[in-house]
Amino acid sequence: MTDLLLPIGFAIFVWWFSTGIVLLLDGLPRTTFRWSHLLSTLLALGSFWGLAHTATLDTPAAVFCAFTCALLVWGWHELSFLTGWVTGPRRQAATPGARGWLRFVQAVQAILWHELAILASGLVIVAITWDAPNLVGLYTFLVLWVMRISAKLNVFLGVRNLSIELLPAHLSYMGSYFRRRTMNLLFPFAVVAATVVAVVVIEQALRFPAGSAGSSGGLLVATLLVLAILEHWLLVLPIEATALWRWAIRQQTRKAPAATAARTTTAATPTIEADEKLLHAR
């Protein structure tokens, strides 16, 4: 039983702690960002080396290392985005009254460099793990990428909890691309699809001997996917979505941007019909 619980507990802790660290660093004074970026960049570069090294090793220790390395690379992208270092060519709120395709294009422009940077990292990870026995790092990065794209689309189309308080002052304009709504048409399909994949991965992981590389790697990836599904549910459930990371959020720096983002969100909110047409068009 311990062999099964270890990867599950490890994935939960690393997900929770790494998210909190990113939020904590983002909440520090902007004069500290250069040091945060330096440290994060060094960790990311080291993590690429770690992914390349562990890709050839089919051992429990190697899959734990690959999982951690993938999260460190992802953490670099999250920190670079939240600090405003890598976002997109558009650094202003959505055009007042913008809806449908125009609003979608402007939202993409606001995060374009960030998404392209993630794509580049993903391609590097594919290259260094190509035809290797240990693909846990690649699968971990793919889960983070796909589920984050899903979360961004859901926030764009409309959810109950926007977590605007997580936006720092220099990114308050991002709130204009959010939509507050009970639920949208994409949400149930995204959650059901992710849940099916999670069940399949868990089933495959349990076919390996407990504590083996196959079992540990599968449970690490499956747990991360389940956590991403949980994050999706937190978008629509009537509970505080940021309570898990209250220790990392500097509330005194969040109030102003949250209020600004809330105003711009209201100003740029399209009709429900426009969002549904956009979703069907995609």
Percent over 90 (pLDDT), the chain: 74
**What does the pLDDT read at residue 274?**
40
What pTM value is reported for the model? Answer: 0.87
The whole-number pLDDT of residue 260 equals 42
* Span 103-162, pLDDT tens digits: 999 999 999 999 999 999 999 999 999 999 999 999 999 999 999 999 999 999 999 988
| pLDDT over 70 at 254, yes or no | no
For the stretch 180-239, pLDDT in tens is 999 999 999 999 999 999 999 999 999 999 999 999 999 999 999 999 999 999 999 988
In this structure, which long-range contacts are made by residues 152-157, counting pairs with CB atoms below 8 Å and at least 24 apart in sequence? 152/111, 153/186, 153/190, 154/184, 154/186, 154/187, 154/190, 154/232, 154/235, 155/179, 155/235, 156/104, 156/107, 157/181, 157/184, 157/185, 157/186, 157/187, 157/275, 157/278, 157/279
Higher pLDDT, 227 or 277: 227
Among the residues of 55-185, which ranges form H helices? 60-82, 100-128, 136-157
